[in-house]
Each structure stands twice: as C-alpha cells, then as structure tokens.
Amino acid sequence: MKGLKVADINKAAGLRLHRRGGEAPAKAGQQQPAALSKPGAAAAASKNKNKENAASAKPGNNNKAVRLPAVKAKPAVVDVPPAAAAVPATGNAADRCTESLKKKYSEVGDVDNESEDSRDCLLVSAYVKDIFTYLQQLEISAAAVRPDFLQSPSRLQITPRMRTILCDWLVQVHQRYTLLPESLYLTYHIIDAFMSSDAGASVKKSEFQLIGVSAMLLASKYEEIYPPNVADFVYITDQAFTAAEIRATEQRLLKQLNFFLGYPLPIHFLRRYSKVAAATPAVHEAAKYLAELARADYSAAHLPPSGLAAGAFCLARELLPSREGACGGSGWTDALEVFSGYSRQQLEPLVRQIAGLAVRAGDNAKYTAIRKKYSSSSGSMVSTWPELDGTGEALRSAAGLS
C-alpha cells in the first residue's frame, strides 16, 4: 500500500507513511496529521505517565497518516559548573568558573542543601553539582554535533529542509506513543551525530526516514519502560522499510556512535534551572516549548544542551514575568549564573535566536507539530499564550524584530 502523494514533500524527502483507507483527504493548505495507529498498543498503553510526557495524539475520525515532510548548613566553597564557551558554541572546551562566580556562590547560598530535597536520598543533593559539572564537560567532549553538518557538497542529498520535515513528523510519532521528552531529544541527537560523521555522507534521501525511525526506536529502548516495537515503526512508515532494515540501521547507528547513548540532553539542564530558580510550572512548560522549537531547528542543532536550555529558560522568564511571580522581569539571576555557568551576556545571541524561532512558529508556519503539541491541555496550551504565539511585542523585541 502506498502513502498519499504530496508533491513538495516527495521532492524533498520522500517520506512514506501509512494512510488508513476510507478517510477524506485534508483540506487544501491544511497540514494533515499522521495516523500512527499501531499493533501492540496494549503494551504501550501501560506505559509510565511522566508529568512531562508529550501530549498523546487522540485518534478520531480524521486520523490519517500522510507523507509529511534539609537541614540548613552554611554554604561551602565548592566547584561550580564550568562556564561553557560563548553561545553559540564553537566547539572549544568549556572555560572553568571564574573567581567572581565563586564569590557569587557564597552570596546566593546552596540551593540544594538548604531545601527539603537534601533529606531525600533519591534526589542525590550531595552529588548534584558534580553530576551537572560532569554533564557540561561531557557535552563538549562526547559525540558533539558539528555546525553546518548538512552543508558540505558531499551531503547535498540530505538538506536542512528535509531534516525539518523529518523532525516535524517524528514529533507526531513521539506524541502518539506518549514517549518521554528524553526520547525525542535523544532521537534528534542520534540523527544529527550520525549525520555529522563520515558515515552520514553516504545517506541517500530514500534512507533518511529509515535513519529517523531507527533512531527513535533506539532512543525509546534507552529511555522508556515500554518502548514501541519494530513492528510499530514498520506499520507507520506504510511498510516502506522492513523490520530487518530497521534493525540493521539500528546496528549501524550504534556502531557509529560507539554504543554511547548517554549524551546530555536539554531537558536535563532545563529541570535543573527550574529547580535553582524555583520556577513556576507555567514558566517551566514555556521553556520546554521554546527548547523543543530550538532543538528541532537545524540552525541550533549543534548548540550545547546546557546552553540551549539556558537560553530557552531565560527567554521564558523574561517573557512571562507575571506568571513567574518572583521573577520580576529579570530572566537571569546570580543563582542561575552560578549553577549554570552562563552569564546573561553569553546567552544574548541564543535568546535572540530562540525568540526568532518562536516568532516564525506562528500561524503561517508550514511545519507546526511542536506548536500543535503545546497548544493542547497536556502542554498547558503555552503556544497559544499571547506572549508566545508569535505576535507579542516582547517576543518580537527579543528576536530583534522591532
């Protein structure tokens, strides 16, 4: 069975998705949702429900798949996370924290040991600073994505636009299977790290969707309790690829990444920043939306996860002062600078870039999976808020458009 033919997407990527019969086509000019019904749904239905899970796409009559593109203690002097290179990153090693940051640390106090969390052994408050210092070092040294990794002449078969189409579709797959945020971010990283390697130069456009579904299968196995199985991905691609092809590509990806799947993800750092700043759920959800917009965009694919999350969180706080309470319009505090290693000045280029992406994700955008995902109640409808819908003056000003 062949999928629907959509001329512009056929040319760009040739993505083939299953379409169920007997359903009317979508109206002209309207993006058609993917029908991602799958065998083995009973197993997936018992999947763990994380509060930050992506919204589940609810099947209805119009569902169809198409070819889509503690005890208080005196603050101790400890090592704080390293300040990464100026954002956007150039790939240089992170600079160690300065004396001024150490001084600020003594002023802001220890947010980990001065809270009730210090009594919860599962939150490992005693080790959290070391953990995030390690993650910031790891994001620079391990399997980093090269800037402009799709621009060299040998990679002309796979273009940034084709990557956008694939990522937009993968968001729908992720949403339909109610996977964890980590699974989506890790999927992006596997794809981009592979395409950054020499092996990525040989990928043909007919194989690009195969790379995508294999990466999501691999990420799901790593992050989920009940991941989708191979048959699910065979089905949603309209049997364009066999189970054997997906497994072979999965092995190919693992070998190229040297079996390393522990790369830091933006959601890890975003949760940390929300903890440090005592962010409200509204601001945290808005930052998640902005971070997903950025990570799905080719221009930000190479940025260090800690910096991307910092830029998204800073922008969310500055756009939503009335929803943040104690924020008072200041997006970046001394505590955030100390525990992230980034100054507000370092984040300025990234804040402007993410704001521009949010403006372009407005009503006239062609690829809207992330915006639709965060327009649902499970996403707190943040993409519909005046501050984030692309029309707000503050957002446009942050993007340098007014």
pLDDT tens digits, the chain, 402 residues: what are they?
333 333 343 344 445 454 433 343 344 444 434 444 444 444 444 444 444 444 444 434 444 443 444 434 333 333 434 443 334 443 333 344 455 555 555 556 677 766 666 677 777 778 888 899 999 999 987 777 888 888 865 666 899 999 999 999 999 999 999 999 999 999 999 999 999 988 888 899 999 999 999 999 999 999 999 999 999 999 999 899 999 999 999 999 999 999 999 999 999 999 999 999 989 999 999 999 999 999 999 999 999 999 999 999 999 999 998 765 544 445 799 899 989 999 999 999 999 999 999 999 986 789 999 999 999 988 889 999 999 988 888 999 998 887
Task: Name the maximum alpha-carbon separation found in the chain.
Answer: 68
User: What is the rounded distance in angstroms from the CA atom of residue 387 to the CA atom of residue 378?
Assistant: 19
> Architecture of 99-142+264-398 per CATH?
Orthogonal Bundle (1.10)
Which residues are 95's β-sheet partners?
83
- DSSP-based helix, strand, coil % in the chain, nearest 5: 55, 0, 45
Both tokens assigned to 106? 């003594």
Reference 20, options 53, 75, 65; nearest CA is: 65
Helix (H) / strand (E) containing 99 = helix 99-108
* DSSP letter string, 130-189: HHHHHHHHHHHHSSPPPTTTT-SGGGTTS-HHHHHHHHHHHHHHHHHTT--HHHHHHHHH
Would you call 83 helix, strand, or coil by DSSP? strand
Would you call 240 helix, strand, or coil by DSSP? coil
Distance of CA 79 to the CA centre of its chain: 28
| Predicted pLDDT at 94 | 38
* Angle at CA of residue 152, ends 150 and 158, nearest 5°: 40
| Predicted pLDDT at 2 | 38
> Which of 381-390's residues contact partners 24+ apart within 8 Å by CB, and which partners?
382/282, 382/285, 382/286, 382/289, 383/289, 385/286, 385/320, 387/286, 387/319, 387/320, 388/286, 388/289, 388/290, 388/319, 388/358, 389/362, 389/363, 390/358, 390/359, 390/360, 390/361, 390/362, 390/363
User: What is the rounded distance in angstroms from the CA atom of residue 133 to the CA atom of residue 392?
Assistant: 36
User: What is the rounded distance in angstroms from the CA atom of residue 383 to the CA atom of residue 287?
Assistant: 11
Reference 237, options 172, 296, 186; nearest CA is: 172
Is 387 within 8 Å of 320 (Cβ atoms)? yes
The residues, any chain, with a CB within 8 Å of residue 130's CB and separated by 6 or more, are 79
Delimit the CATH 1.10.472.10 region(s) of the chain.
Answer: 1-16+144-262, 99-142+264-398
User: What is the rounded distance in angstroms from the CA atom of residue 400 to the CA atom of residue 95?
Assistant: 28
User: What is the rounded distance in angstroms from the CA atom of residue 207 to the CA atom of residue 384?
Assistant: 35
Reference 366, options 192, 169, 149; nearest CA is: 169
Reference 78, options 138, 120, 23, 125; nearest CA is: 125
| Predicted pLDDT at 238 | 87
Is 381 within 8 Å of 375 (Cβ atoms)? yes
| Predicted pLDDT at 39 | 42
Place of tokens 């991941």: 227
User: 254-276 b/e with 16+ CB inside 10 Å = b?
Assistant: bebbeeebebbbbbbbbbbbbbb
What homologous superfamily is domain 1-16+144-262 in, according to CATH?
Cyclin-like (1.10.472.10)
